Structures are given as structure tokens and as C-alpha cells.
Amino acid sequence: MRHSLRQFLRIWHIGVILKRYRLDNLFNTGYLPGPIRWIRIFLPGRKDVTGMPRGERLRMALQDLGPVYVKFGQILSTRRDLLPEDIADELALLQDQVPPFPGEEARSIIEKALGEPVDEVFANFDTNPLASASIAQVHPATLHDGREAVVKVVRPGIDKQLRKDIDLLRAIAQLAEKFNQSGARVQPSKIVSEFERFVFDELDMQIEAANASILRRNFSDSKDLYIPEVHWQWCKKKVLVMERVSGLPVGDIEGLRKHGVNLKILARRSVRVFYTQVFRDNLFHADMHPGNILVDASQPDDPTFIAMDFGIVASLTPKDLFYISENFKALFNQDYREVAVLHIKAGWVPAKTRMDELETAIRSVGEPNFTRPLNEVSFGKLLFDLFQVAHRFELTLQPQLLMLQKTLLNIEGLARQLDPELDIWSVAKPELDAIIREKHSLENISRELRERLPGWLARAPELPGLVHEILVKANSGQIQTRPSSADAAQLVKEQEITRRKVLQVLAGGSLIIPGAIFTALEIGPWYLWGWSLPGLLLLATSAWLIIRSLK
């Protein structure tokens, strides 16, 4: 009973804030229980916000509601597939600045987490924070060896506050789904679940430290991006200690110009950083807004980005990474048929989707972009429009793909801010081509074969049984081969191709066993330069058959 009363009072408070900013449309659409709508009768809205756009009023309301709702607004801004553009743009401007908690309390949290006094860990610790956000705040410190560091400390009690507010957001989302006509399509409960996953990951400083550590290793030899060093010996769940970095804010264009920074090189590097993170490493910083990026201008003609705040880092499944890279290539080549085929093969749209209708819809998005000057084309916007169109065909995407699209929009916006004349396509296409060529090079394939060989050997005894099972199912009719859609002729042709591919996979798979055995023996005159020649030929033939089946 007490819990329900607290929840009701909190909902009432939300209603008061929403009415204050004249967000009356939310009251009319069933997002809140009936009694809360009484607020519009008894409480007038602020007169000074009447002429403001709705997105700005919503942003101000979230800021008044507190840090958890600010963070929710930030995450919500990434769901551009669901939000009107004006609201998504405004929510993306939310500044996650909140009043700091006492420095002595931060000291206490650090000592409890590390199990030793702050003075023994650091030569100097400043209780005045450098920055304060909804999840944590950052304090400057000096290590005993003289190195400058920053200490990120999770806000006290934030996990309990998050849990209460998330439960409340979920309750409101369920009401929205129940009473609002568009609730089933927008699925606010799923948005709340995404928010829950993101923010609770951000609460764990060891996850953030691991993200930073991997990104630093990926860019250890790069002049494009610098990642601060993590001091692992002092990292715990509620405390993160890492190298203190300094640089010019990337959004301060005038400041960069005053220091003589080559903005054209910097703009091109921003695009390269994105494609390298996504397609080479499959791990990308998903929160690369200007507040999280500095520029090392010590060599103005060779500037380097410095990334900070690694709480939101994303990666794609191998399947999605393959299909998104192929989609990018097809879009670069204006091959709309291939884009449609890839959407169906990836399972993003149902297999029953008519190919010609999907291709026409994709062409309607792509062609208007290609008729514009290339320095005005936004690949992130094109990807967003593509997802919007595909929603008509029951598009299903993982949140990571939406984070990818949001990150691409951020990077392109940053690149254009640095160099308004930048032709992003001319930079992005060769970068993507070079990364894919490198990934599919003979050296990488050879290394991957060597790494996978022990696993293949371990599973080799199962292969004859699996082949037998497939043949039995095919013979008994359990494997469907008869077309069932209007595109019968096309499906029959595709099934013929599929049959050939299955035979190629089976033939290739059957050659793996003897090839692996020859290679594993490593004896006899046929063993030369670290490889068994018969084994190598068999494995190469096997790989060739399997690769052909993927085309």
C-alpha cells in the first residue's frame, strides 16, 4: 500500500512537471491515469514556455524531473526510428550536468571500495570535482609516481534511485501500451528495458574500464584516436582511476583554428575512426558527442582525437556486422536490389516480403540523396531513412544497430562541423573497401583457419552423423522444397541455387576431416614449411567450396 502511494505521488509529480511545460498532448492520449488528468484543470502551465517548440519543452521537463530522467531522455534520443525528428534532435541536446555530491563522501566511497586510505593511494586527491553527471562525478588526483589521474566515483544511492525510477517508467510505459493507440507499435516497455540495460552497465566502473582498455589496445598504434590509460589496480565496481588527459574541446571550432589545427585532416580522421571501430574491430564508442571528445593540438598539422567516458560501448553480432557492411557497400554502389536482398537474408524483414516492393521503397530513399551534391549527403541520415521505410515491411532491428546509426549521425555531424565541404562518401567508401580487403586477405584467412582447426578436429566425428540426418530429413520430405508464395518461379530458381550451395557445403565439410588429419600428422615428405601439402590442398578446396556457397 505504501509502495503504491509513493508511486502515485511520483506519477502526480511527473504530471505537475508535464503540465507546467504545457505538454498537454500527453494527457489527452492516455499516457497517464485518469485522475492525473485533473492536473490540467487545477494547475496552470508556465506562460513563458507557450511559444517554445514541443521538443524543447520536453527537454526542459526532463531536466526538472532529475538526473535519471535526463539520462532516459539521452537514451531515448537514440531511438530516432520511433521519435519525431524534432523531439529526437532536442533530446540529444540534454546536458547531463547535475549538482555534485560532497567531496568527502566521494573520498569515503573510494576508501571503502579500495580498502585503504585515499592518502595512501594518491599523492594528492582533490575533493572538488572536475565534472558531475547523473551517474558519477570525476575528481582530479596525482599518483605517487607523479602521474596525473582522474578518479570517477559512482553517486551514492544512485542504484536504488535508478531502480525506483525505472520501475515507475515501466509502469507508465505499460499504461501507455494499454491506453494509447500507438503503444503497441512504439513498444515503450522495450525502450525502458533498453534504458535499464544501458544505465546499469554505466553503474559498473569495471565494465567502463574494460571498454576503455580494449579500445586503447585497438588504437595503440594509431594517430587518429587516443584512449587514456586505465590504472587497473585501483578500479572497482564504484571507482575508476585512469590517466588524466587534456586537449581542446572538439566543438570549439574557433579555438581549434586559433591553434592552427588542420580541420580538414581532423574531419577525415573522424570518419576513419568510425569505420575502423565498427568494421575492423567490431567495438565502437557509442556516445561520441562533442562533450566526450577532445583534440590533441600539440602537432596542429597532425591532430589526434582523444576520447573520454566509455560507459556506452557497443558491438554487433557477426551476422549483423556482415550484413551491415554488405548493405553499406551496396548503398555506396546504388545497388538497391542488393540492399533489399540483404535485408531479407539478414532476417531484418520477414522472408515473405515481396522483393520488388522492398526494392522500390529503398530506391525511393536512396535516389533523392544521390541527386544532391556529395558534400551534402549524410550516410547516417540515409541509413535512418532506410530503417524508417523498412518499418512498413515489419523491420526488426537489434538496439546495437540503432546505436550504430545514432553514432554515425554524431560522427558525420562532427565531421561536417569541422569541414563543411567534406565529401563523406569519398572518405568512407575507400576506408570500408580497405578494411574489408584486409579482413578477407589470404593472411587473415590462413590465420583464422589455423585458429579454428582444433575446433574442427574436435567436432569432425559428428559431421558424418549430421550429413546423414540432413539426407534422411530431405528424403522424408521434412525439408521444404516446394515454393509457397506468389514468386514461385523465382523461388524455384533460388532453391536450385540453394541445393547446389548445400551440396558445396557438404562436399567442403567432408574434405575438412582428411585435410585436418593430414595437417595434424605433421610427418612424412609431404610436410613442408609448416603445412602438410595434401592437407593444405584439401583444406583449401574445402574452403573454396564453402566460400562459393556463400556467394
Alpha helices in 21-83 (DSSP H): 25-28, 39-42, 54-65, 67-76
Exposure string for 191-211, b = 16+ CB within 10 A, e = fewer: bbebbbebbeebbbbebbbbb
Catalytic residue among 81, 165, 287, 296: 287
The percent of residues above 70 in pLDDT, for the chain, comes to 71
Alpha helices in 419-487 (DSSP H): 424-439, 442-459, 463-476
Mean pLDDT (the chain, rounded) = 77
Find, among 230, 239, 247, 208, the residue nearest to 149 by Cα.
Answer: 230
The reported pLDDT for the residue numbered 531 is: 43
Question: What grid cell was written down for 248?
Answer: 581542446
Q: How confident is the model at residue 400 (pLDDT cuts 50, 70, 90)?
A: confident
Rounded Cα gap, residues 458 and 386, in angstroms: 43
Say yes or no to pLDDT of 508 above 90.
no
Complete DSSP assignment for 108-131: HHHHHHHTS-HHHHEEEE-SS-SE
Question: What grid cell was written down for 126?
Answer: 582533490
Hey, what amino acid is at 184? A
Q: How confident is the model at residue 541 (pLDDT cuts 50, 70, 90)?
A: low
Looking from the CA of 61 toward its CB, the CA atoms found within 13 Å total 25
The reported pLDDT for the residue numbered 304 is: 95
Rounded Cα gap, residues 136 and 162, in angstroms: 13
Rounded Cα gap, residues 1 and 13, in angstroms: 18
The reported pLDDT for the residue numbered 132 is: 85
The reported pLDDT for the residue numbered 269 is: 93
The reported pLDDT for the residue numbered 485 is: 46
Three-class secondary structure assignment of 316-337:
CCHHHHHHHHHHHHHHHCCCHH
The reported pLDDT for the residue numbered 47 is: 57
Work out the average pLDDT over 267-282. 92
pTM (2 d.p.): 0.71
Of the spans 89-103, 250-264, 341-355, 425-439, which averages the highest pLDDT? 250-264
The reported pLDDT for the residue numbered 435 is: 85
Rounded Cα gap, residues 10 and 454, in angstroms: 58
Higher pLDDT, 37 or 389: 389
Of the spans 71-85, 435-449, 480-494, which averages the highest pLDDT? 435-449
Q: How confident is the model at residue 92 (pLDDT cuts 50, 70, 90)?
A: confident
Question: Can you name the residues that pair with 380 across neighbouring β-strands?
Answer: none
Rounded Cα gap, residues 123 and 117, in angstroms: 11
Helices 399-418, 379-390: axis angle to 10 degrees equals 150
Strands 148-154 and 136-143: antiparallel
Range of lowest pLDDT (102-111, 199-208, 271-280, 399-408): 399-408
Say yes or no to pLDDT of 445 above 50.
yes
The reported pLDDT for the residue numbered 173 is: 74
Q: How confident is the model at residue 187 (pLDDT cuts 50, 70, 90)?
A: low
The reported pLDDT for the residue numbered 125 is: 96
Question: What grid cell was written down for 242?
Answer: 585512469
Work out the average pLDDT over 52-81. 76
Q: How confident is the model at residue 261 (pLDDT cuts 50, 70, 90)?
A: very high
Find, among 232, 212, 421, the residue nearest to 306 by Cα.
Answer: 212
Ordered structural domains, the chain, with CATH: 2-95+164-198 (no CATH), 97-156+204-244 (3.30.200.20), 246-440 (no CATH), 453-550 (no CATH)
Higher pLDDT, 211 or 165: 211
Rounded Cα gap, residues 187 and 177, in angstroms: 7
Work out the average pLDDT over 206-216. 95
Rounded Cα gap, residues 143 and 523, in angstroms: 56
Say yes or no to pLDDT of 524 above 50.
no
Question: What grid cell was written down for 154?
Answer: 559512482
Find, among 406, 140, 114, 123, the residue nearest to 274 by Cα.
Answer: 406
Contacts of 198-204 with CB under 8 Å at 24 or more apart are 198/75, 198/312, 199/68, 199/71, 199/75, 199/135, 199/162, 199/166, 200/159, 200/162, 201/311, 201/312, 202/135, 202/311, 202/312, 203/135, 203/154, 203/158, 203/159, 203/162, 204/237
Rounded Cα gap, residues 247 and 388, in angstroms: 38
Say yes or no to pLDDT of 209 above 90.
yes
The reported pLDDT for the residue numbered 385 is: 80
287 flagged as catalytic: yes
Say yes or no to pLDDT of 330 above 80.
yes
Work out the average pLDDT over 29-52. 55
